[in-house]
Amino acid sequence: MGRGVCAVEDPQGGSQSQLKESGSILWMNPKCNNGKLPPGSMGLPLLGETLQFFSPNTSSEISPFIKERMQKYGPLFKTSLVGRPVVISTDPDLNHFIFQQEGQLFQSWYPETFTDIFGRQNVGSLHGFMYKYLKNMVLNLFGPENIKNELLPEIEQSAQKKLRLWSSCESVELKEAIATMIFELSAKKLISYDSAEYRDNMRESFVAFIQGLISFPLDIPGTAYHKCMQGRKRAMKLLKEILHERRAMPEKQKGDFFDYVLQELKKEGTILTEAIALDLIFVLLFASFETTSLALTLAMKFLSDHPSVLKELTEEHEKIQRNRENADSGVTWKEYKSMTFTFQVINETMRLANIVPGIFRKALREIQFKGYTIPAGWAVMVCPPAVHLNPAKYKDPLAFNPWRWQDIELNGATRHFMAFGGGMRFCVGTDFTKVQMAVFLHCMVTRYR
């Protein structure tokens, strides 16, 4: 359990009932070697406060679990989730410190259930050289240079194609439609996947996976978590089949990420394994479409609810069109970089979307912070929604107001904005997400109502 949780001792040879009572007391009131732990409750033995933590939150506000404890204990409090002691931080200073000390005082860590879901060798669970190696692999595909030189026109073509299709429909289930659009593009660039060529639909496996992603980890038939794990198994099975097909026919290169992976696997002395490669592609498929589709759906909702924002956004993109020599030519990188108000809309959408409810790290050494001790080995959960909806930083925090980002340039995370994580693990897909959102909005407001 890490430093700070004492072992149960019974020097007097107490009865079983006394032992149980003693263990319960120690669970509820853990001690640390130096200083004092943050306030909070450890909940029930072993179960902790896991059930309350996983309770669904259907509002755009901070989850009730976090909000109630912030009011009771302040910006820093302890709890226990899935059998693990955790300090939850809603303090911007501590959050910033945690990201800056990645690999020194803290390292990436996620509960056992998350590693079961995303794979033992997923990029979030790897550290040091291996993490940097995989990060550079991903940047070859989703980095600014490749987006600028190759992906930008494909993103625009995909958006135009889908918008034309939707415009002929009576109604569109927007979140599902956008998710499918982005999944098709990501799957094509990653593994040249075409659903028409395979009996099993990979997109459907990811839908099952996503529905149980944030659920209580009970892996029995009928539960959301079980469906999630079954979705992962089906998706991984198909990915493995595709990888083996490609390895058997190395001469048939398709110019996708799988080609790059296969080249790395063939290198003498490579540190890449098939298991790591498959977990990486699985995580990339998930991250590249699910988070972006949610953000883009919310952006459309916010624009429909705020005509003044839609008006200014439309004016910005119509001006870009007017300044072209050929009005029908595609979006250029220079035009994309000039979309000032569009970036304000994206920032505000990401602030309110709070797609990532928590970012987990583990303390490598004992940490002293504002009079409290975080013991070595304890998990720490950074809570972005509590920072993004802080009224002390954002006036009327639940209001959609892109103008609050006027004259603010964001190239990374700050103490008060961490929609894409922070520190050395700042999301490598940030540029890809922003380009997809900006180009889709450009196509939308210049051609459709």
Q: Is 443 annotated as a binding residue?
A: no
Measured CA to CA, the distance from residue 410 to residue 375 in angstroms comes to 33
DSSP 332: P
Angle between helices 224-248 and 257-266 (to 10 degrees): 70
Residue with tokens 């001690």: 31
Contacts of 336 (CB under 8 A, 6+ apart): 152, 435, 438, 439
**Residue 117, both tokens:** 């879901």
Measured CA to CA, the distance from residue 41 to residue 29 in angstroms comes to 8
Other Cβ atoms within 10 Å of 333 Cβ, number: 13
Measured CA to CA, the distance from residue 135 to residue 392 in angstroms comes to 35
Contacts of 397 (CB under 8 A, 6+ apart): 388, 389, 390, 391
Measured CA to CA, the distance from residue 212 to residue 117 in angstroms comes to 10
Contacts of 167 (CB under 8 A, 6+ apart): 448
- Cβ density class 228-242: b for 16+ within 10 Å, e for less: bbbbbebbbebbeeb
Largest CA distance in the chain: 89
Measured CA to CA, the distance from residue 284 to residue 442 in angstroms comes to 25
Show the 3-state SS of 269-315: CCCCCHHHHHHHHHHHHHHHHHHHHHHHHHHHHHHHHCHHHHHHHHH
Measured CA to CA, the distance from residue 252 to residue 154 in angstroms comes to 22
- Residues within the annotated binding site for heme? 427
- Residues within the annotated binding site? 427
